[in-house]
Amino acid sequence: MKIDARTITHLEKLARIELTAQERERLSEQLDRIVGYVEQLQEVDTTDVSPTSAVTHQAHTQLRADEPRKGLERDAILSQAPDAKDGYFRVPKVIER
Amino acid sequence: MPSFETIIGLEVHAQLQTKSKMFCGCSTRFGSAPNTQVCPVCLGLPGALPVVNVKAVEAAVKMGLATGCTVARRSVFARKNYFYPDCPKNYQISQYEHPLCSNGFLHVEGGEKRIGITRVHLEEDAGKLIHLEGDDHSYADMNRVGVPLIEIVSEPDIRSPRQAASYMQKLRTIVRYLEICDGNMEEGSLRCDVNVSLRKKGSDKFGTKTEVKNLNSFKAVEQALEFEIERQARLLGEGRKIQQDTLLWDSVKGESQIMRSKEEAHDYRYFPEPDLLVLDIPESLIQRVDTEIPELPDAKLDRFVSDLGLPKYDAEVLTSSREIAGYFEATAKELGDAKAVSNWVMGEVLRELKDKKIDISQFKILPRQLAALIAEVQSGGINMPTAKDVFRDMAGTGNEAKDIIEKKGLKQISDEGALDAVVVSVLDNYPQEVAKYLAGKDKLLKFLVGQVMKETRGKAHPQKATDLLKEALEKRRGS
C-alpha cells in the first residue's frame, strides 16, 4: 500500500491537524516505510496462530465492585480547562448529533 | 409506483442501573449539578486506567440470557475513535469484533413475529452538550461520561414502523423486568437509532440504507420510520438513488434532516482497547445471573392465559409491566376471580395511575383492599357505579372499602319493599313520562331508572329497580 497525498489528507482530517507541504512529504515517506514493514510481517504464515488482542494474552481483566467513590472537585477540574462557565466546560459551538 | 418491501434494523442503547460508572467509581446519579460526578478516568486525564464494573457485566449477561443470546466466555473491549466535545478521551470504550453476547432473539405481535438480535455489547455513554439559542458556545456536562450502556443490535428482520415500535416496547419491558435499566426514554435511559432501506418486492438483495438518529419515544420511532420510508419510496419511484446518509429526527417538526453524508461518515478506527485485558466470564457468573432472571413477560403471559384463563389481550396488557402483573396476581389470588380483577386493573387502576401520573408502588389501594372492594360488588353489597366512587375514595385515602361504604351509607338497596316505595313515588312524580312510555316510547324506561337511582343516591340495585319499574308500569297500563 502506498501512502499517497490523499491518504495523508484523510489522516490529517481524522487527527484534526493541519500539516505543511513539507510535513506531508516527510510523513508520507515515513508512513510508507512503516506500512511497508507491516506488509513484510504479513508474509509470515499465521494459519495456526490465534489472533492476539492483548500482549498478555493469558491474563484477563480484573472486575471492580459497583461502589461509588468521590471524584474530583469541580472547581479544581474546571480551573484546568481552556474555558468554563457556570459549572460547565465551554467549547466552540457544535451542532452535530 | 412499484411496491417496496421495508427492511428495518434497530440499534438500542440502554443505560444500566449501576451505582458507579462503567470503568470508574464516579456516581451515575441522574440530575446532579454539572461536572460533579467526574474523575481522572472518565475525564481521560493522562495516566488514568479503566477498571470494569462487575455489575455492568452481570447486567449485560442477564440481557443476553433473557434474549436467548450466546454469552461469550471471552470478549474484548475496543476503542472507537472520534473527536467530539462530549467525549473527553477522544474515544469511547466499546466492544467490536468480539461482543459479550450474540445471536439472540425476541418475539413481538403476540408471539407471531420473531426478531433476531445480532449482539448485545457493553460500552460507555458520552457526556451531555447544551446548546443555547444565540450563543456561539456549547456547554459540556461530563457527569454522564462513562455511565455503562448496553447496545442491542437487531437483525434487519423488522418490516414495518409498527413492528419497530413493538420491538422497542418489548425490549423496554424486558430490561425493566430484569431491573437492569429504568427504561425512561424521556431522560434518555433508553435510546434508539434505526436503519432503514427499501427493496422491490420479491428481491432478496438489500437496498441502500439510511440511519435515523435521536429517537426518544415509541411514537418518534414510528413517525421517523414512516417519514423516511415515504422519502425513500418517492426517490426510488422517481428513478433516483438513495444516498447512504445519517439523518436526525426532529420530533417537533415531524421530519428528519441529513446530518452527515457517506463522504463525511465517521471512520472510527476501532482497535482492541490496550488499557484493558480480555473480559473472561466464568461459568459460575453465568449460572448465578441465570438464577436471578425472573419469569419473563412471554412466560408470564402464557401462564396468565393457561392457568388463570385470561383472554390473551388482558394478559398482554397486564404483563407489559412486571409491577402491574405482580399487583394483578396478588389481587387475583385474594379474590379467586382473575377476570374480574383483570377488568378492574386494566380499567380503573391503570386509569388512576395515568391520571395521577404515579406508578403502582405509590398507589394507595393494596391488592387485598381491591379484592375486598370487588367482593362487595360480587356479593351485591354495592352496585358498580357506587363501587367506582368507593374506588376513587380508596385511591385518595387508602381506607377500606367496607368502612367507606358504612360511613357514607352506600349499601345497595336490594330490598324489594324499600325499592317498591321509591318506584311508586317516581311514577307518581312523572305522569307525562309514564304516559309516553305506555304509548310506546320504550326509551323512557332508562329515564325512569335514572330517577330511581337519583332518589336512592345511586344505591338501588340497578337490575332490581328496572324489573320493579317494568312491573309497576305494566300494572298502570291495565288501569
CATH number of B437's domain: 1.10.10.410
Last residue of one domain, picked from the residues B383, B408, B433: B408
Distance of CA A39 to the CA centre of its chain: 21
Cβ distance of B54 and A69 shorter than 8 Å = no
Distance CA B84, CA A97 (A): 10
B33 with B150, same domain: the answer is: yes
Query: Rounded distance, CA A17 to CA B26, Å?
Result: 32
Q: Please answer yes or no on whether B43 and A56 come within 8 Å at the CB atom.
A: no
Give the C-alpha separation, A84 to B247, whole Å.
Answer: 31
Statement to judge: residues B388 and B471 lie in one domain: no
DSSP state at residue B180: S
Number of domains in chain B: 3
DSSP string, B2-53: --EEEEEEEEEEEE---SB-SSS--B--TTPPTT-S--TTTTT-TT----EE
B260 touches A at CB < 8 Å: yes
Q: Report the alpha-carbon distance of residue B389 to residue B346 in Å, rounded.
A: 17
Same domain as B392, residue B305:
yes
Contact B143, B127 (CB under 8 A): yes
Q: What is the pLDDT of residue B2?
A: 58
Chain B residues with CB under 8 Å of A88 CB are 34-35, 130, 139-141
C-alpha span between B290 and B61 (Å, rounded): 9
B28: left (phi over 0), alpha (psi -120 to 50) or beta: alpha
Residues of chain B with pLDDT under 70: 1-2, 263-265, 478-479
- Residue A53's nearest CA partner among B128, B278, B29, B439 is B278
Q: Which residues of A touch B267 (CB under 8 A)?
A: 10, 14
pLDDT attached to residue B310? 96
In this structure, the answer to whether residues B229 and B313 fall within a common structural domain is no
Residue type, B18: T
CA distance A97 to chain B (A): 7
The minimal CB distance from B54 to the residues A66, A78, A92 is found for A66
CB atoms B129 and A53 under 8 Å:
no
By the CB < 8 Å criterion, does B213 face chain A? yes
CB burial class (10 A; 0-12, 13-18, 19+) of residue B244?
A: middle
Domain ranges of chain A: 1-44
Shortest CA distance from A69: residue in chain B: B25
Give residues 68 to 87 of A whose Cβ lies within 8 Å of B: 68-69, 71-72, 74, 77-78, 83, 85-87
Report pLDDT digits (tens) over A19-74. 999 999 999 999 999 999 999 998 999 888 887 766 665 678 889 999 999 999 99
Min Cα–Cα distance to chain B from A75, Å = 9
Whether B375 contacts chain A with CB within 8 A: no
pLDDT of A56 reads 65
State the pairing for strand pair B246-250/B210-215: parallel
Are residues B155 and B273 both part of a single domain? Answer: yes
Residue B462's domain spans which residues?
Answer: 416-478
Residue in B163, B171, B175 with CA at minimum distance from that of residue B109:
B163
DSSP string, B132-174: -TT-SEEEEE-TTTT-EEEEEEE-TTB-SHHHHHHHHHHHHHH
C-alpha B162/C-alpha A2 separation (Å) is: 49
The three cell numbers locating residue B4? 417496496
* Alpha carbon distance B254, B228 (integer Å): 11
Where a domain ends, among B267, B288, B309?
Answer: B288
Question: Do B54 and A64 count as a contact with CB atoms less than 8 A apart?
Answer: yes
Q: What is the DSSP string of B231-250?
A: HHHHHHHTTPPPP--EEEEE
Per-residue burial over B113-134, b if 16 or more Cβ lie within 10 Å, else e, is bebbbbbbbbbbbbbbbeeeee
Residues in B closer than 8 angstroms to A59, CB to CB, are 277
Cβ of B19 and A66 within 8 Å?
Answer: yes
Rounded distance between C-alpha atoms, residue B460 and residue B94, angstroms: 67
Nearest to A60 among B43, B130, B278 (CB): B278
B136/A92 touch (CB, cutoff 8 Å), yes or no: yes
- Considering Cα of A80, then A85, then A88, then A92, what sign does the dihedral take? negative
Pick the CATH number of A1-44 from 1.10.730, 1.10.20, 1.10.1060, 1.10.390: 1.10.20
Residue B399 sits in the same domain as residue B365: yes
* B322 and B369 housed in the same domain: yes
B102 and chain A: CB distance < 8 Å anywhere? Answer: no
- What pLDDT is attached to residue A97? 46
Distance CA B17, CA B327 (A): 23
CA quadruple B342, B347, B352, B355: dihedral positive or negative? positive
CB pair distance less than 8 Å for B277 and A96: no
304-363 of B, contacting A, C-beta below 8 A: none
Residues A85, B139: C-beta atoms closer than 8 Å: yes
Tell which of B288, B306, B333 closes a domain: B288
Cβ count within 10 A of residue A76: 8
How many other C-beta atoms lie within 10 A of the C-beta of residue B341? 28
B33 with B174, same domain: the answer is yes
Confidence of residue A94 (pLDDT cuts 50, 70, 90): confident
A–B interface: beta-carbon pairs under 8 A: 143
d(CA B198, CA B228) in angstroms, rounded, equals 10
In chain B, which residues have their Cβ closer than 8 Å to the Cβ of A89? 35, 85, 139-142
Q: pTM, whole model, 2 decimals?
A: 0.85
Among B residues 30-69, those touching chain A with beta carbons less than 8 Å apart:
33-40, 42-43, 51-57
